[in-house]
């Protein structure tokens, strides 16, 4: 019997991407689609690329609209998921693509999001050590942030192999869809096209505690993170350039071997051949993560670079991958590693 899935926030970028993936998922039947200001609109007017759903009309995001499904994807702004999730029964698989249930430390949540902490759910980054066991059979999943996905997958093998000091410096560029579909002046074409600029510099970005949580969990000690995000003139994609000081005795070969070991059996993470560096275009529309790593002997630092599509592996693809694990389906069902680069 098909898995019946509802999507709340179906008019947004993350909701649209999860619908694109679910349309190609052989085990899923798409049920209710809900929105907020766009409730009552045809999906075809909002997400014209989702042709098979063009005549579906968005309902209000209410417990009644979302009832009667096996899976509910929440693609809502931060802080909106908890109230919706608590109205859904314990037997429904609820997958939150927002941040509400990602962080374990309530103080981190309050500092970076400015509201009371709603709780912590199993974290939907299956490639992290022990993550799959926590996701299997779970009825609640917190999908990671897009930057933490890219950064954690670039750096965790270095910490798992105890090759890096517990302090990482990260600069990552994101496409504009990472900021959502709601209009904002800094996202105007005239502001973004042909220009790049950092934001959230100096520890202010809300994804910093999530990266610290992930890397510290692998390292077994607190990993300090300096994170600088940058808005890039492209619609999709994240390129994360991460570096950490190597511990004594590290060589280029030991770094390469650690990454080969970490990613030998991962279906979505592809360690590129030596000398080839990740590019966002190569993962456009795919659930793949391209990773490369080098040892810069002149400064004794490990440099790891990853590329993802922020909307696919960075949100909706990660959500579907986690759903597959939770439901006992093959993890790769409905997901592709093939990009759409020109």
- Picking from 240, 69, 122, 108, the residue whose alpha carbon sits closest to that of residue 170 is 240
Q: Least distance to ligand X2W from the beta carbon of 101, Å?
A: 12
Packing angle, helices 317-327 and 13-23, rounded to 10: 50
Does the footprint of ligand NDP cover residue 336 (CB under 6 A)? no
CB of 177 or CB of 286, closer to ligand NDP: 177
Per CB under 6 A, contacts with ligand NDP among 30-69 are 35-38, 61
Does the footprint of ligand NDP cover residue 178 (CB under 6 A)? yes
Does the footprint of ligand NDP cover residue 11 (CB under 6 A)? yes
Does the footprint of ligand NDP cover residue 145 (CB under 6 A)? yes
How far CA 225 is from CA of 57, 166, 168, 255, 299, in Å, comes to 44, 8, 5, 20, 18
User: Of 28, 72, 128, 146, which residue is the catalytic one?
Assistant: 146
Residue range at the interface with ligand NDP (CB under 6 A); choices 3-11, 226-234, 267-275, 282-290 = 3-11
Per CB under 6 A, contacts with ligand NDP among 80-119 are 80, 97-98
**CA 66 to CA 33: how far, in whole Å?**
8
Q: Least distance to ligand NDP from the beta carbon of 174, Å?
A: 8
Does the footprint of ligand NDP cover residue 314 (CB under 6 A)? yes
In the residue annotation, 146 being an active-site residue is answered as yes
**CA 337 to CA 340: how far, in whole Å?**
10
Do residues 72 and 119 touch, judged by C-beta distance below 8 A? Answer: no
Q: Which does 124 bind (CB under 5 to 8 A by kind): ligand NDP, ligand X2W, none?
A: none
User: What are the DSSP calls for 157-176, one per residue?
Assistant: HHHHTT-EEEEEEEEEEE-G
User: Token match 């042709």: residue?
Assistant: 51
Q: Which residues contact 71 (CB under 8 A, 6 or more apart)?
A: 3, 4, 5, 6, 28, 92, 93, 94, 95, 323, 327
CB of 58 or CB of 244, closer to ligand NDP: 58
CB of 35 or CB of 98, closer to ligand X2W: 98
Q: Which residues bind ligand X2W (CB under 6 A)?
A: 98-99, 145-146, 174, 178-179, 229, 231
Number of other residues whose CB lies within 10 A of the CB of residue 34: 25
CB of 227 or CB of 268, closer to ligand X2W: 227
Does the footprint of ligand NDP cover residue 182 (CB under 6 A)? yes
Using CB atoms, what's the residue nearest to ligand NDP? Answer: 12
**CA 151 to CA 153: how far, in whole Å?**
5
**CA 18 to CA 12: how far, in whole Å?**
10
Q: Which does 76 bind (CB under 5 to 8 A by kind): ligand X2W, ligand NDP, none?
A: ligand NDP
Do residues 215 and 163 touch, judged by C-beta distance below 8 A? Answer: no
* Collapsed DSSP state (helix, strand, coil) of residue 333: coil
The binder of ligand NDP chosen from 5, 12, 47, 284 (CB under 6 A): 12
Residues of the shown chain interacting with ligand NDP in the complex, contacts defined by CB under 6 A: 9-15, 35-38, 61, 75-78, 80, 97-98, 145-146, 177-178, 180-182, 310-311, 314-315
The residues carrying an active-site annotation are 146
């Amino acid at each position: 019997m098909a898995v019946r899935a509802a999507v709340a926030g179906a008019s947004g970028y993350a909701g649209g991407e999860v619908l694109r993936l679910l349309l190609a998922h052989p085990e899923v039947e798409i049920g209710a689609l809900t929105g907020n200001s766009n409730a009552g609109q045809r999906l075809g007017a909002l997400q014209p690329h989702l042709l098979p759903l063009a005549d579906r009309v968005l309902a209000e995001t209410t417990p009644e609209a979302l009832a009667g499904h096996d899976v509910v994807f929440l693609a809502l702004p931060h802080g909106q998921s908890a109230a919706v999730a608590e109205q859904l029964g314990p037997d429904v698989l609820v997958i939150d693509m927002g941040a509400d249930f990602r962080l374990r430390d309530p103080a981190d949540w309050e500092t970076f999001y400015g509201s009371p902490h709603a709780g912590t759910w199993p974290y939907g980054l299956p490639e992290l050590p022990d993550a799959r066991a926590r996701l299997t059979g779970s009825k609640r999943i917190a999908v990671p942030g897009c930057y933490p996905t890219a950064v954690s997958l670039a750096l965790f093998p270095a910490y798992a192999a105890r090759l890096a000091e517990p302090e990482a410096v990260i600069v990552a560029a994101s496409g504009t869809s990472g900021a959502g579909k709601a209009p904002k002046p800094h996202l105007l074409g005239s502001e973004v096209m042909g220009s790049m600029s950092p934001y959230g510099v100096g520890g202010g970005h809300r994804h910093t505690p999530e990266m610290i949580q992930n890397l510290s969990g692998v390292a077994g000690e607190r990993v300090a993170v300096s994170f600088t995000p940058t808005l890039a003139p492209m619609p999709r994609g994240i390129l994360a350039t991460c570096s950490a000081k190597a511990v004594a005795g590290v060589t280029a070969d030991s770094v390469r071997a650690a990454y080969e070991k970490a990613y030998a059996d991962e279906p979505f993470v592809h360690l590129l051949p030596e000398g080839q560096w990740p590019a966002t275009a190569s993962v456009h529309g795919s659930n793949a993560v391209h990773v490369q790593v080098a040892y810069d002997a002149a400064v004794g630092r490990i440099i790891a670079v990853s590329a993802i599509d922020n909307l696919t592996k960075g949100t909706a693809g990660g959500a579907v991958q986690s759903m597959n694990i939770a439901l006992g389906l093959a993890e790769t069902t409905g997901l592709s590693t093939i990009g759409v680069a020109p």
